[in-house]
Structure 1
């Protein structure tokens, strides 16, 4: 059986988990925390999560995992059967994962973990996110899902990462860059969360947070 390794607080872990659940692909969850321990580096070269364990070996990076699942389980139709629509789904995922989330990630140390970010980083991220959010808004449909009327694989990325962008910018700059741009990510997340698979991801993330708080 496929093993999904990581922890519930990771948005990229949740992205892969949502794809697995939505498409009814059997898997086992294995709790793994990111680290630079040699034992982990044998499975994940940068010590990151998630990674997937298969009968062929280990695979890291969330989008590579999603692409592998789509190829291994073609009957699940993880991506659209139409080549153009599938390409647009991949484009949307790239915008969310790279242009938005990875840019906003530069703020997380201060926004979520009690650290600090430099003024230079604040200025650079503000400039980049303003530009990237404008581009994202040009292609995102929110009708009600990112690519249109039907839930799709791009929503696995949007559901787990758009809230982080909004919350991080709200904390660091005093304003939510997404809401300020007219992107109502809160209504979007509520819509996605009505799906049983998404609700399970949410509930299990909350349970993980609660258990971690009790243990600390």
Structure 2
């Protein structure tokens, strides 16, 4: 039995959870946050979530975990059977994770947590995200899914991360960089949100947020 460690506000935790639910892979969810203790370091060297326990040992980093699941459960179509289509799904996933979400993450302090980012950070992120959003728009199909007519891991990444990017830029700059680039992430979230796995991830995230409010 796979044990998945993390919490429902983490988009990368939700990425792995979505994949597990979508493909019917049994797992146990273990609540864990960012930590800097030796026990956590044995599973996640930087103390980040998500990470998993497997029969062979622990693994961290969401994309590595997804790749492991695809290899460990070859009967589950996590990636397309066609090698080029599988590579394109990976390409889009990496683009979302690294070139969009990771860049926008520098805005979250101000966008979601009541802090303030420096003018330098705002300027740097604006330049990078404007270019990266335009680049993503060149390779994403949204027909209706990110890679084209078929649902893929790229849609999981988009579902859990693109709303954060769009909302963060809207709060900090007054405009949604993704929508400006022609990326209709809202329509995509609505489409993917029809899937039972997406509905479960969303329901668990909202329940967690409500519980946090109640203390």
Could you tell me the TM-score, scaled by structure 2's length?
0.98
* Counterparts of 2:11 and 2:140, CA distance in 1: 20
1:63 maps to which residue?
A: 63
Q: Does 1:113 align with 2:88?
A: no
Is it true that 1:161 corresponds to 2:178 in the alignment? no
Where does 1:10-25 land on structure 2 (aligned, <5 Å)? Answer: 10-25=10-25
Name whichever of 8-17 and 105-114 sits farther off: 105-114
3-state SS of paired residue (1:52): strand
- The Cα offsets for residues 71-106 of structure 1, whole Å up to 9 and x where unpaired, read as 000110210111100000000001100000000001
Superposed, 1:26-41 pairs within 5 Å as: 26-41=26-41
In structure 1, C-alpha distance between the alignment counterparts of 2:12 and 2:65, rounded to whole Å: 10
CA distance in 2, matches of 1:84, 1:182: 25
In structure 2, the partner of 1:212 is 212
Q: Which residue of 2 aligns with 1:77?
A: 77
TM-score (norm 1): 0.98
Take 2:20 and 2:91, find their aligned partners in 1: how far apart are those partners? 20
Question: What is the root-mean-square deviation of aligned Cα atoms in Å?
Answer: 0.7
Equivalent residue number for residue 94 of structure 1: 94
Q: Secondary structure at the match of 1:75?
A: coil
Are 1:193 and 2:193 an aligned pair? yes
Structure 1, gaps ≥5 residues long: none
Unaligned residue ranges in structure 2 (runs of 5+): none
Question: In the TM superposition, what is the alpha-carbon distance from 1:39 to its structure 2 partner?
Answer: 2.4
1:27-64 superposed Cα distances (whole Å, 9 cap, x missing partner): 00000011212322222100000001111111000000
